Amino acid sequence: MREGLADFFAKSGRWKLGGTASSLESAKELLSGTTADVMILDINLKDGWGLDIIPWYAEHIRLAQTQSAQPLMAVYSAYDDWAHVKTALNMGVRAYVTKQRSLQELEDALQKALCGSIYIDETAQERLQNTANTLDLLTKREKEIFSLVKNGMTNKEIAAHLDISHRTVANVLSLVYDKIGIRDRLQLERL
């Protein structure tokens, strides 16, 4: 897939390809010697989470004391769930396109993002809307615990704060995960 993406952008004649990377380590190696105007990230890399390159690169620019601006960040990923899209947007991603969409749509998304828009493809938008509606289905207690997790509290802290058992907190969180379509606390914290 990576080679096809690189080939598409090279053939378009509108983009200069700086390189491709299949892992965080190779991306860091590639970016250590150059600056980028646009980065297209995948969320799932063989050695980690692709979005981790965003804070790393910001720190790299700061330490290098260059005048480089943070590049436009785009995601091209198989993940279309609310947790991944929302996390990417919160990290500064300006275009989110799922791999079910065409490479032409990805290029169009980059153009729109370069003009100042935030682009989320139709598939991901539908999932975002469905999840937003799902949040309305959470009970008062589920919303309360959801909010406390988002504020960084542990299960034990939440239990003490709400005067309930930590087991009850874990059970409620399990229901929340199921309702909003996420797997674990880390995904919830990144929302």
Q: Could you tell me if 112 and 181 lie in one domain? A: no
In the chain, the number of structural domains is 2
Among candidate residues 103, 131, 159, the one where a domain is terminated: 131
- pLDDT score recorded for residue 68: 66
Q: Could you tell me if 18 and 63 lie in one domain? A: yes
Q: Could you tell me if 28 and 7 lie in one domain? A: yes
pLDDT at 167 > cutoff 90: yes
For residue 175, the domain's CATH number is: 1.10.10.10
For residue 54, the domain's CATH number is: 3.40.50.2300
Q: Could you tell me if 14 and 107 lie in one domain? A: yes
- pLDDT score recorded for residue 157: 95
pLDDT at 19 > cutoff 80: yes
pLDDT at 25 > cutoff 70: yes
Band of residue 101 on the pLDDT scale cut at 50, 70, 90? very high
Average pLDDT score, the chain: 87
Q: Could you tell me if 68 and 160 lie in one domain? A: no
Write the pLDDT tens digit of every residue in 80-100: 887 788 889 888 999 999 999
Write the pLDDT tens digit of every residue in 38-58: 999 999 898 988 999 999 888
Calpha distance 130→123 (Å, rounded): 11
Number of residues that this document lists for the chain: 191
Q: Could you tell me if 82 and 16 lie in one domain? A: yes
Q: Could you tell me if 72 and 103 lie in one domain? A: yes
Calpha distance 39→54 (Å, rounded): 9
Write the pLDDT tens digit of every residue in 115-153: 999 999 998 888 777 766 677 788 999 999 998 998 889
CA distances from 119 to 39, 111, 143 (A): 15, 10, 28
Calpha distance 113→119 (Å, rounded): 6
- 3-state class of 115 per DSSP? coil
pTM: 0.71
Residue 154's domain comprises 137-190
Q: Could you tell me if 124 and 158 lie in one domain? A: no
